Amino acid sequence: MPKSSTGFKVKAVLLGIGIIIVLILYSYFIPDTIRTRITDAQLTKVDGYFMIATESRPLVNHDAKYRFKFDSGNIQNEAIRLKGKVVMVRKYGWRIPLFSMYENIVSIKETR
Indicate the number of domains in the chain. Answer: 2
> Same structural domain for residues 11 and 35?
no
> Same structural domain for residues 20 and 58?
no
Residues 44-91: tens digit of each pLDDT = 888 889 999 999 999 999 999 988 999 999 999 999 999 999 999 999
> Same structural domain for residues 49 and 83?
yes
What is the CATH classification number for the domain harbouring 91? 2.40.50
Could you list the residue range(s) of the whole structural domain that residue 12 is in? 1-30
Percent of the chain with pLDDT over 90: 77
> Same structural domain for residues 83 and 99?
yes
Spatial contact of 103 and 80, defined as CB atoms under 8 Å apart: no
CA 9 to chain centre: 35
Q: HEC states along 62-80?
A: CCEHHHCECCHHHHHHHHH
